[in-house]
Structure 1
Amino acid sequence: MEALPNLQVLILKSNKFDGNMSLASRSNLPFQKLQVLDISDNEFVGSLPQTYFKNFRAMMDVKENKTDLITSIDYFLRYVEMRITLKGLDQLLKRLLEDFTIIDLSSNKFSGTIPRFIGNLNSLRYLNLSHNNLMGHIPASLGNISVLESLDLSSNKLDGRIPSELTRLCGVPLTRKCNEENGQQMRPKEEDDKDDEYGFIDGFGWRSVVMGYGSGIIVGIGIGCWIIRFGRPRWLVEFFFGVGYTYKKKKKKKKKTRKRATPTQRRS
C-alpha cells in the first residue's frame, strides 16, 4: 500500500491484523497524501509508526494546499462521510476531505512512547491512541496541533504531568477564540468589556449580587418585625426566643389591661 502515492483514506478497523508497523519502509516517502488512517481494533504490536508520522504531508499545513474555488461537482466528490470513535462512542461525521484529517490507532497492542514528531502534524483534527500499552510522558509538541478537535490517550500506561502546552488549544469546538495569524489565544473585545463592566464572568456581576443581598435583608427585617410584634408563627418564635415566649407576652398584655381598667373602677 505504500506504493499508492494518491491514497488519501485508509480504513482497516475491526479486523484481526497483527504485526509490527515500525519496521523499515520500502518506500522513501510513504503515504504522502494520506489524510485518514484508521486501523483501530486490531492486534498491531511494537512502537508507533514514526516513519509514517514524519511523511504524512497531507496532515501538515492543509490550508496551504487548498484551492480557493470548489465547484459543486468537486464538493460532492470530496465530501466524506465516515464513522469514527470519539470519546468511546461511534459517531458519524460528514465533512470535506480537504480539512478531514484523522489518525486512529486505538484498541491495539502498541507499546513504547508517543513520538514527538506527531506534533508536526499541525493540521490533524482527530487523534486517538487509546487502549494500548503506551508509556512515558505526553509530548509537549501536541500543543502545536492548534486545530485539534479530539484527543484520546486514555487506557494506556502514561505517566507524568499533562503538558501546559496543551492549554494553547483554541477555536471550535472550544470557547476560546484564536488569532487567525499565529493561532494564539484571543478573547473577543465584547467579552472583555462585559467582564470589566460587571466584574465577574458567567453573568454573575456585582450589580446582581448587591440586588440579591439587598432584597434578602429587607425581607428578613420585615419577617423579624412581624414575628416580634404578633408572636407568630408560634413554633418559630419559640425556636428563637425560647419556649413560653408567646405565653409571657400575652400575660404582659393582660397586666397592662388591668392597670388601665383600675382608675375607671374606682370612679364608679
Structure 2
Amino acid sequence: MCYDGALLQTLDVGYNQLIGKLPRSLLNCSSLRFVSLDHNRLRDTFPFWLKDLPDLQALTLRSNKFYGPISPPHQGPLAFPKLRILEISDNNFTGSLPQNYFVNWEASSIQMDEDGRIYMGNYNNHNYVYEDTIDLQYKGLYMEQGKILTSYATLDFSRNNLEGQIPESIGLLKALIALNLSNNAFTGHIPLSLENLTELESLDLSRNNLSGTIPKRLGSLSFLAYISMAHNKLKGEMISP
C-alpha cells in the first residue's frame, strides 16, 4: 500500500464495502498516525502487528467483522507505543483483558497547551491542514469529532463479546474523556481506579454483567456529564463530596 519512506499520515477508508483482511503492507506506511476503517466488511483478527507503526495514535475499526481476542498472545499490555484512541465497537471480539492491559499507554499522561486545554501529541507541522475526524458515541449520542489527535483520548469497546473483569489498570489513562464498554459480558465489580479519570466526560458501562456497588467517588468527577450503568446487577448511588 505504501512504499518505504512514504509520508502518509492519515488513512481514512471508512464507509465503503471493503472485504477481506488488512494488508500487511500498511506497515510500509511508517508515518501513519490515524487509521480509520469504520463501517466496512473486513473480516480479520485484531491487528496487533500495527504496533510496529511508531507514530500510530488513533485506530478505529468500528462496524466490521473483526473477531477473536484483543489481548496480546502473551497476555501482557497492549503495548502500542503512542495509541490514544481505540474504537472497535460493533465487531465480534471475544475473550478477557489482563489486569495490566492498559499499562504504559500514551493516554496515561495529561499534557496541556498554552490555553490550558488537553492536547494529545505534537502537531508542529503548520502546513498540515487535514482535520482528522471520528464518529464517536459520546455522551449517549453519535457525533463527529474533529482534531482528534490534539484534543483527547477515548476508548470504545462496545457491542462485542468481551468478558471477565474490567482491568484496574484502566485508571491509569488520565487523559480519557470518553469510555464506552457497553453491550459486552464484563463481570465483577466496577474498578475503583475509575475515580482517577479526572478528565472523564462520558462513561457507559451499560448492558454487561457487572455486580457490586457503584464507586461513590465517581460522582466527584468534575467533568462527568453522561453516565450509563443500566442492565447490570449494581447497587448503590454515586455521591459528590
1:124 aligned to 2:160? no
Letter in 2 for 1:5: P
**C-alpha distance in 2, partners of 1:83/1:15?**
14
Moved more, 157-166 or 81-90: 81-90
What is the count of residue pairs matched by the alignment?
174
Change (3 A) 1:110 1:145: same
Does structure 1 retain, via aligned residues, the 8 Å contact 2:202–2:224?
A: no
**C-alpha distance in 1, partners of 2:224/2:140?**
20
Q: CA deviation at 1:125?
A: 1.0
Structure 2 unmatched runs, 5+: 1-49, 114-118, 227-239
> Over residues 126-178 of structure 1, what are the superposed CA-to-partner deviations in whole Å (9 max), with x where a residue is unaligned?
1100000001110111010000011100010111111012122014759xxxx
Aligned alpha-carbon RMSD (Å): 3.2
Does structure 2 retain, via aligned residues, the 8 Å contact 1:60–1:122?
A: yes
Structure number with the bigger relative contact order (C-alpha 8 A, sep ≥ 6) is: 2
Give the match's secondary structure for 2:186: strand
Q: CA deviation at 1:55?
A: 2.5
Does structure 1 retain, via aligned residues, the 8 Å contact 2:134–2:145?
A: yes
- Which residue of the partner structure matches residue 73 of structure 1? 126
Q: CA deviation at 1:81?
A: 1.8
**C-alpha distance in 1, partners of 2:165/2:75?**
24
Matches within 5 A, 1:164-243: 164-171=216-223
Letter in 2 for 1:83: D
**C-alpha distance in 1, partners of 2:103/2:143?**
28
1:44 aligned to 2:93? yes
Pairing partner for 2:190 from 138, 161, 166: 138
Does structure 2 retain, via aligned residues, the 8 Å contact 1:2–1:27?
A: no
Give the match's secondary structure for 2:137: strand
- Which residue of the partner structure matches residue 31 of structure 1? 80
- Which residue of the partner structure matches residue 6 of structure 1? 55
More helix by share: 1
Pairing partner for 2:110 from 62, 74, 80: 62
Runs of 4+ in 1 over 4 A off after TM superposition: 25-29, 49-52, 64-67, 69-72
Give the match's secondary structure for 2:83: coil
Does structure 2 retain, via aligned residues, the 8 Å contact 1:113–1:135?
A: yes
Q: CA deviation at 1:23?
A: 3.5
Pairing partner for 1:97 from 149, 172, 177: 149
Does structure 2 retain, via aligned residues, the 8 Å contact 1:22–1:50?
A: no
Q: CA deviation at 1:32?
A: 2.0
Give the match's secondary structure for 1:53: coil
Letter in 2 for 1:159: S
- Which residue of the partner structure matches residue 17 of structure 2? none
**C-alpha distance in 1, partners of 2:127/2:101?**
28
Give the match's secondary structure for 2:199: coil
**C-alpha distance in 1, partners of 2:75/2:127?**
33
Letter in 2 for 1:128: N
